[in-house]
Structure 1
Amino acid sequence: MKQFYIFLTVLFLFSSCKQKADKTVKAKEEPTPDFVVAFGSCNMSQEPNPFWDDILDENPNLWIWGGDIVYADTDDVERLRSIYAMQDTVAGYAELKKEVPIIGTWDDHDFGLNDGGSDFAIKAESQQVFLNFMGVPEDSERRNQEGVYASHEYEVSAGKVKVIVLDTRYFRSELIKDEDSEKRYKPTTDSTATVLGEVQWQWLENQLKDSDADFNLIMSSIQVLSGEHGFETWGNFPLEVQKLEHLIVESKAKGVIILSGDRHISEFSRADVADLAYPLVDFTSSGLTHSYSSFSGEPNQYRVGEVVSDKSYGVINLNFENKEAEFKIMGDNGVVLQELKQSY
């Protein structure tokens, strides 16, 4: 009888282990995204570039430069060209270029002037150097227009993505210094002040109104929603923020998402916009090789979660069937530093 009880005990334990094993096998897997976008900003070729292998491991359909591709800060065109060339010698980035389409915009340091705008003396020459780096053909219309803005469409079996790349430098009006506080700049209510300039605004309106994409990503080098910190932001031009939000609503474009960089921090901002069927998300990803490691806080009424002050890059996983975007702030070796999901 004792042997019989021992046999039952062993049988029970075996059955229990098998059930646990079965549960492990049947664990629900995360659905494979239909389209993967990776992006980032604030990059120095002379610093360690730790993320290119990780970015490739994400199997992205696209890489978007969010500005400050290099730190040139120069009005010497040859020096600007040589600094861009250094980035092309980074082995990991060269591998990415072989495998993944690359698009993007510039910000102030690759534009050539810190916090620079429309009055930068060599902006036309700088534009051509930027377009050379991005591999834009010599006969492209972008070679003849003022500003580096562009749109790109990508279609997969599940749906379509449109990426609208803005130029927040070439036409941007002068910033107003804040002499009354510790902030660098203050907002202006001048109705003639602009971020995009008249021609680019009209172009953006057409791009959104004519879009049949399931998701429309707008790449702005500077933040749109976070406007209280006193550094560069669309918030220094509040009338332009209102204009952009109004345009997004009136266009009836589906799944509009804002991407931004510049700040040397990463964060999610989300705002409810009147008459917009979904919240507007501004995903800031910065920086790739250096970050605001001593960050101690700043106001942002639209922030979701916490500020990430470690070096990072951004990933957006798009799923067309359930109209969902998964935003991830990524660290080295595929570590997820923060994430956000939004339905559209």
Structure 2
Amino acid sequence: MLKSLFSLALASLLAAPVYAAELTAGPMAGPPTLRGVTLWLQADGASRATVEYWPEGTQGAKRRTAPLALTAEAQYAGHITVFGLEPGRRYSYRVVLNDKPAAGGKVYGFATQALWQWRTDAPDFTVLAGSCNYGNEPGYDRPGKPYGDRHLSIFKTMAAQKPDLTVWLGDNLYYREVDYDSPAGMAYRWQRDRSQGYLQEILQVGGHAAIWDDHDYGPNDSNKSFVFKGEALKLQQRYWANPSYGLPDVPGAFSTFSYNDADFFLLDNRWYRDDYRLTDSNRAMFGPAQMNWLKNALLASTAPFKVIAGGSQMLGRSPRGDSWVDYPAEREDFLKFLAEAKIDGVIFLSGDVHRSELGKLERPGSYPLHDLTCSALTSGVYADEKLRNRPGVVPGTVVMGERNFCQLRFEGSKKERRLVLKVINDLGEQKWEHVLEAQALRHPKP
């Protein structure tokens, strides 16, 4: 009798309906490798997630990843790594939650990197970059006119560019006063903002990598004293699919990865940051351990383009926004290293200042350094004509008073390789174009 009752209870449990979970955000791919990619996604409840994938146009060769449990503790977000793919191939995939196709069975796509080394010239590819994404939430926004842009057309414009990679340059969301006073508040902001419909189209195109700045790390102008920075790092890891975060013995959000013939170095300008008002002449933005890592990583790189991304402007100092210039000892030491080690191909990426521009630093006996600042995506913008014609800024490259993003196009044969920089506004209008030849980013031969 007891055995019969147990069998009935078990059968009833197995027959119970499984929660019909759905996607609330994503899927989003991290930077792809030659044979794999990590996919990020978020559901609206506890569920078992898998990905079905196949070479584009051959659905009969479908494979499925191992299941991943999406739990409340992780806000129903997670990463699924797909490996064992072939280089230079496009793959189609769909997300399955609790054994049911999500999003109506919608099919997405990603591409692995090509195995071009020792075989052909590097493929041409397109990278987008931007910073400062403020999503309005009435009741918690600043009083007066909403700081963010309610229309948010810029993400549709970006998706239409069909980038191979998008690099998010910090302030990718804005913690409010009701958020950064607790880990729960910070987690709420990520879950709420990432699920907004206007973001999904760009998240589903190409690969994505991200750094942070003050507003997606903590309060305005946060430094290393922020008591919840450990939680901030967990959330950065939870909501992006960067290949790594810091080192085993050096915590932080910094990382590096390669995409074709460009190496990207993602810096953490908050975890180790001293307040710029400290009188200590050795105050640091990145800290000795991270700078030691960066120097070694640059020496190990053989890529003709070395893109260093930091949340604050790297070369110049303007009346608005913070800059690495406020940390002279650390900055000068690094610039000296670049010159003495003869590191070729360096270009900086930055955000933060709610305008876009191309900074330029001339260096006697070496090639000039450039800092492409990209801002703002949806947050407030302003215009001040005093910022337009400043020393250290390439004439005609300052874009103010409108939302915009940057495009980096790596193209051409090995002998004529070049990097084409553009700034494009939210309507898709090109504001300027500037070409950097790879040959011009090298130290002169003795």
- The question of a shared fold, defined as TM-score above 0.5 by the shorter chain, is answered with yes
- Structure 1 counterpart of 2:266: 165
- In structure 1, what is the Cα distance between the partners aligned to 2:265 and 2:382? 30
1:314 aligns with 2:430: no
- Per-residue CA deviation, residues 285-322 of structure 1 (Å, 9 max, x unaligned), is 11101343242323742111242111111111112522
- Structure 1 counterpart of 2:194: 88
- Structure 1 counterpart of 2:27: none
Contact 1:42/1:67, CA 8 A, preserved across alignment: yes
Contact 2:321/2:352, CA 8 A, preserved across alignment: no
- Per-residue CA deviation, residues 136-182 of structure 1 (Å, 9 max, x unaligned), is 58xx5648542100001112xxxx111100011111111218xxxxx
- In structure 2, what is the Cα distance between the partners aligned to 1:291 and 1:329? 17
- Structure 2 counterpart of 1:151: 256
- In structure 1, what is the Cα distance between the partners aligned to 2:267 and 2:408? 18
- Structure 1 counterpart of 2:392: 302
1:72 aligns with 2:175: yes
Aligned pair in 2 of structure 1 residues 35, 67: CA closer, same or farther (>3 Å)? Answer: same
User: Which range moved further: 97-106 or 279-288?
Assistant: 97-106
User: Which range moved further: 216-225 or 298-307?
Assistant: 298-307
Aligned pair in 2 of structure 1 residues 325, 239: CA closer, same or farther (>3 Å)? Answer: same
- Structure 2 counterpart of 1:223: 313
- In structure 2, what is the Cα distance between the partners aligned to 1:83 and 1:201? 31
Residue in structure 2 matching 1:343, options 425, 431, 437? 437
Contact 2:282/2:329, CA 8 A, preserved across alignment: no
Aligned pair in 2 of structure 1 residues 253, 83: CA closer, same or farther (>3 Å)? Answer: same
Higher relative contact order (CA 8 A, sep 6+): 1
1:176 aligned counterpart, secondary structure: coil
1:262 aligns with 2:352: yes
Cα deviation, residue 336, structure 1: 0.6
Cα deviation, residue 68, structure 1: 0.2
- In structure 2, what is the Cα distance between the partners aligned to 1:173 and 1:338? 35
- In structure 1, what is the Cα distance between the partners aligned to 2:287 and 2:333? 12
The percentage of counterpart residues that share the same residue type is 27
- In structure 2, what is the Cα distance between the partners aligned to 1:152 and 1:204? 12
Cα deviation, residue 252, structure 1: 3.4
- Per-residue CA deviation, residues 170-223 of structure 1 (Å, 9 max, x unaligned), is 11111218xxxxxxxxxx6x4421111111011101110000112111101100
Cα deviation, residue 230, structure 1: 5.9
Aligned pair in 2 of structure 1 residues 117, 141: CA closer, same or farther (>3 Å)? Answer: closer
Which amino acid in the other structure matches residue 172 of structure 2?
I
Query: In angstroms, what is the RMSD of aligned CA positions?
Result: 2.1
Contact 1:265/1:291, CA 8 A, preserved across alignment: no
- In structure 2, what is the Cα distance between the partners aligned to 1:142 and 1:224? 20
1:111 aligned counterpart, secondary structure: coil
Residues 1-344 of structure 1 aligned to structure 2 (within 5 Å): 34-46=124-136, 47-48=149-150, 49-73=152-176, 74-135=180-241, 142=246, 145-155=250-260, 160-176=261-277, 190-229=280-319, 231-276=321-366, 278-298=367-387, 300-306=390-396, 307-309=398-400, 310-321=402-413, 322-344=416-438
Cα deviation, residue 275, structure 1: 3.5
Contact 1:39/1:66, CA 8 A, preserved across alignment: yes
- In structure 1, what is the Cα distance between the partners aligned to 2:173 and 2:245? 24
Larger helix proportion of the pair: 1
- In structure 2, what is the Cα distance between the partners aligned to 1:143 and 1:132? 17
Contact 1:260/1:283, CA 8 A, preserved across alignment: yes
Q: Which consecutive unaligned segments of at least 5 residues does structure 2 have?
A: 1-122, 137-148, 439-446
Aligned pair in 2 of structure 1 residues 311, 206: CA closer, same or farther (>3 Å)? Answer: same
- In structure 1, what is the Cα distance between the partners aligned to 2:315 and 2:430? 23
Aligned pair in 2 of structure 1 residues 99, 326: CA closer, same or farther (>3 Å)? Answer: same
**TM-score relative to the length of structure 1:** 0.79
- Structure 1 counterpart of 2:9: none
- Structure 1 counterpart of 2:4: none
- In structure 1, what is the Cα distance between the partners aligned to 2:364 and 2:226? 36
- In structure 2, what is the Cα distance between the partners aligned to 1:329 and 1:136? 25
- In structure 1, what is the Cα distance between the partners aligned to 2:239 and 2:246? 13
- In structure 2, what is the Cα distance between the partners aligned to 1:292 and 1:55? 18
Aligned pair in 2 of structure 1 residues 232, 81: CA closer, same or farther (>3 Å)? Answer: same
**TM-score relative to the length of structure 2:** 0.62
Aligned pair in 2 of structure 1 residues 162, 320: CA closer, same or farther (>3 Å)? Answer: farther
